[in-house]
Structure formats: structure tokens, C-alpha cells
């Protein structure tokens, strides 16, 4: 995969987020080890802030930083071969009811598509989300790309999924460009927020702070987590080999409910207490888990790093970060 990218330049949005940092670290490692000379132009609203947080990565010579946002950035002068559009507002931000932010997100996708079409880009990878499916039906333990349901448009919390659906449609309406859709689910790895933004991050943060680990639900919701190193393998493979406008779920199909996850983290960190906020609900457990057979069969992708070692690696990083 890296040999095919030799000498290429990738235009990256969202390069300072969780996905983006792992991608930049992987490019840097590939250049150091394999001498493939992959370069990137990274669009960021505040490169100076990132340089203070990650000076080593920001100073790498293969990365050129472009200041701006997706909705109105100036097209870079240097030609690029590929685009990886990873930037997005969070589900919490889009669900807060700010229509201006939703519109800016869509305008950003529109401008990225315009840049790609006018700049001779070979292919574009768009980081979509499993949120496009809406609430996963109870009869589906793993949701496939062929499911045609969607978010509830009457709920503000559905804004994130709706924006991703509309962005996918914008890609489909740009037939002159090869757009590959990556519908991401849940992930784990060094660099992830240890806050309430994601359940697994908050569990780790609470455990390392001495506990207790607090589960806000009855603990039955079922999730799965793909390690970030696997995530980069998947994204780059999709960029090069994925079928255009043929969405791929990106995530793990190895399920775990929130109680099991919290107990696993508690045991690993030293028998931290686990508190469950609500009594057990009589309805079937809510799932957010992808069916990844399409990626397996078409592209040979898989969950190469299971949850236990992924969690151990993330905990080791978090201990250093918090300590």
C-alpha cells in the first residue's frame, strides 16, 4: 500500500483530530522506515496551536500547513494526488441546535469537492459515520451498508447523522470525481479524548483517576471498538482500493456491552468500582455495531488488533498522559 503511494501528496482536512494525528504519524513512520516520500498538505484553522501541542509532528518536513477552514480555504498552489476529508464538527456540537454550524459543515464538503474536481485529484476519501443509519434496529446485531434507514429528522441529536448523509449525497452528485465513503463507528487508541465525549474514553479517565467508573445507562448498550492503527490501515486501503460511492463500514464487529467494558477496564487498572446509573431495562439492548463483511471480502480488511491489546496499549498511553 505504501509503495503505491510513493511520492504522492495527500490533501488532509481534520489532520489535528484523532483520525488525523494517527494518519500523520503513520505517514511519518512510513517515510522514515520505507523511504516512500509521501507528503501532505494539512488544512487547519490553527496550525500554531497544534505546533504547541505536538511540536515534533508539526515540524516534520513532509507536512505543509495551510491555515483556513473547509468552507472558505484558499486552494493550495502545490498539486495534490489524493484528498482525505476527515474534518467534521462533533455530534455534540451539531446536536446543540446551531444551524449555522451545520450549514458551514456542508459548505466545507462542497468546497472540498470543488477543490478536488478543479485540481486533478485522483481520488477522495470522505469520513462519514455509522450515524447515517439512525438508530440500529433491534433485530440487527450488526448493521450492513445495505440498510436504508436513517436518522430521525425531528430530533436535534440526529443532526450529525443527517449532515453525514447529505455529505455522502454531495459526493454521489459529483460523478467526475472518485469518492470513497468510509462510515466510521467507534474507535480506541492513544490520543483519544478521555472525557464524556466517548464512553470508553470517560471510563478510562475515571478509572485512572481512582474511580468509580460511572455508566449513565443500564449498561446494556452494545458497542465495538477498532484500534486506531487498524483504522489507518482501513482508511488508506479504502483510499486506494475502495469502490467509488460504494460505502464501507469502518469498525470492529467484536461486540461488548458497556458493563463488560467498564468491568474490563476496572480489572485492568486495579479493581476500580463500577457504578450503574439506571436499573436494568426490559427492552432489548441498543446496538451500535457494524457489519464489516464488505470490507473483509472486497479488500481483505479485518480487526487485526483485538480489543484486549488495544485497550492495554491505550491504558499505557493514558497513564503517561495523566501522570
Encode pLDDT of 112-142 as tens digits. 999 999 999 999 999 999 999 999 999 999 9
Task: Report pLDDT for 97.
Answer: 65
pTM of the predicted model as reported, rounded to 2 decimal places:
0.95
Q: For residue 12, give the 3-state DSSP assignment.
A: strand
Q: Is 180 exposed, middle or buried (0-12, 13-18, 19+ CB in 10 A)?
A: buried
pLDDT tens-digit map of 189-218: 999 999 877 899 999 999 999 989 999 889
Task: Report pLDDT for 19.
Answer: 97
**DSSP string covering 28-46:** HHHHHHH----EEEEEES-
pLDDT of residue 282 exceeding 70, the answer is: no
Q: Is 33 exposed, middle or buried (0-12, 13-18, 19+ CB in 10 A)?
A: exposed
Q: Is residue 21 part of a domain?
A: no
74: left (phi over 0), alpha (psi -120 to 50) or beta: beta
Task: Report pLDDT for 206.
Answer: 94
Q: Is residue 314 part of a domain?
A: no
Q: For residue 93, give the 3-state DSSP assignment.
A: helix
The helices-and-strands tally (H runs, E runs) of the chain is 11, 13
Instruction: Please name the residue that has the C-alpha cell 470508553.
Output: 200
Q: Is 101 within 8 Å of 93 (Cβ atoms)?
A: yes
Q: Is residue 174 part of a domain?
A: yes
CB neighbours of residue 92 within 10 Å: 11
Q: Is residue 3 part of a domain?
A: no
pLDDT of residue 101 exceeding 70, the answer is: yes
pLDDT tens-digit map of 31-84: 999 999 999 999 999 999 999 999 999 999 999 999 999 999 999 989 999 999
Task: Report pLDDT for 200.
Answer: 94
| Helix spans in the chain (H) | 18-34, 47-53, 55-58, 91-94, 99-118, 159-172, 199-208, 228-241, 258-269, 293-299, 307-322
pLDDT of residue 95 exceeding 80, the answer is: no
pLDDT tens-digit map of 141-187: 999 999 999 988 877 778 899 999 999 999 999 999 999 999 999 99
pLDDT tens-digit map of 221-231: 999 999 999 99
Q: Is residue 44 part of a domain?
A: no
C-alpha to C-alpha distance for 120 and 272, rounded to whole angstroms: 54
Q: Is 118 exposed, middle or buried (0-12, 13-18, 19+ CB in 10 A)?
A: exposed
C-alpha to C-alpha distance for 313 and 280, rounded to whole angstroms: 31
Largest interatomic CA distance in the chain = 59
| Nearest one of 221, 244, 223, 237 to 302, comparing CA atoms | 237
Q: Is residue 108 part of a domain?
A: yes
CB neighbours of residue 158 within 10 Å: 20
Task: Report pLDDT for 323.
Answer: 60
When divided into structural domains, the chain yields a total of 1
Q: Is residue 69 part of a domain?
A: no
pLDDT band at 284 (very low <50, low <70, confident <90, very high): confident
Residue 138, domain extent: 88-188+226-253+287-304
| Nearest one of 85, 109, 264, 310 to 184, comparing CA atoms | 85
pLDDT band at 89 (very low <50, low <70, confident <90, very high): confident
HSE at residue 142, side-chain half, CA atoms within 13 A, is 15
Say which CATH number the domain at 126 has: 3.40.50.720
Task: Report pLDDT for 294.
Answer: 98
The per-residue pLDDT of the chain, averaged, comes to: 94
| Helix spans in 54-158 (H) | 55-58, 91-94, 99-118
pLDDT tens-digit map of 290-308: 999 999 999 999 999 999 9
Q: Is residue 230 part of a domain?
A: yes
Amino acid at each position: 500500500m505504501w509503495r503505491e503511494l510513493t511520492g504522492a501528496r495527500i490533501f488532509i482536512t481534520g489532520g489535528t483530530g484523532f483520525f488525523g494525528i494517527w494518519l500523520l504519524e503513520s505517514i511519518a513512520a512510513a517515510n522514515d522506515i520505507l523511504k516512500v516520500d509521501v507528503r501532505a498538505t494539512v488544512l487547519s484553522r490553527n496550525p500554531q496551536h497544534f505546533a504547541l501541542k505536538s511540536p515534533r509532528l508539526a515540524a516534520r518536513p513532509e507536512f505543509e500547513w495551510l491555515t483556513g477552514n473547509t468552507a472558505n480555504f484558499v486552494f493550495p498552489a502545490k498539486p495534490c494526488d489524493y484528498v482525505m476529508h476527515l474534518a467534521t464538527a462533533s455530534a455534540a456540537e451539531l446536536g446543540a441546535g446551531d444551524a449555522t454550524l451545520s450549514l458551514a459543515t456542508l459548505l466545507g464538503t462542497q468546497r472540498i469537492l470543488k477543490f478536488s474536481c478543479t485540481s486533478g485529484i485522483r481520488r477522495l476519501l470522505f469520513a462519514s459515520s455509522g450515524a447515517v443509519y439512525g438508530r440500529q434496529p433491534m433485530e440487527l446485531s450488526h448493521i450492513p451498508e445495505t440498510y436504508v434507514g436513517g436518522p430521525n429528522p425531528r430530533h436535534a441529536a440526529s443532526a450529525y447523522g443527517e449532515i453525514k448523509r447529505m455529505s455522502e449525497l454531495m459526493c454521489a452528485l459529483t460523478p467526475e470525481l472518485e469518492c470513497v465513503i468510509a462510515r466510521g463507528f467507534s474507535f480506541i487508541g492513544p490520543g483519544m479524548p478521555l472525557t464524556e465525549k466517548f464512553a470508553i474514553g470517560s471510563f478510562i479517565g475515571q478509572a485512572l483517576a481512582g474511580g468509580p467508573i460511572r455508566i449513565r445507562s443500564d449498561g446494556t448498550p452494545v458497542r465495538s471498538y477498532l484500534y486506531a492503527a487498524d483504522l489507518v490501515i482501513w482508511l488508506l486501503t479504502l483510499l486506494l482500493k475502495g469502490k467509488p460511492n460504494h460505502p464501507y463500514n469502518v469498525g470492529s464487529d467484536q461486540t461488548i456491552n458497556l458493563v463488560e467494558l467498564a468491568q474490563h477496564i476496572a480489572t485492568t487498572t486495579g479493581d476500580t468500582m463500577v457504578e450503574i446509573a439506571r436499573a436494568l431495562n426490559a427492552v432489548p439492548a441498543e446496538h451500535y455495531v457494524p457489519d464489516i463483511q464488505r470490507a473483509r471480502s472486497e479488500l481483505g480488511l479485518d480487526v487485526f488488533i483485538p480489543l484486549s491489546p488495544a485497550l492495554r496499549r491505550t491504558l499505557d498511553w493514558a497513564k503517561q498522559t495523566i501522570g
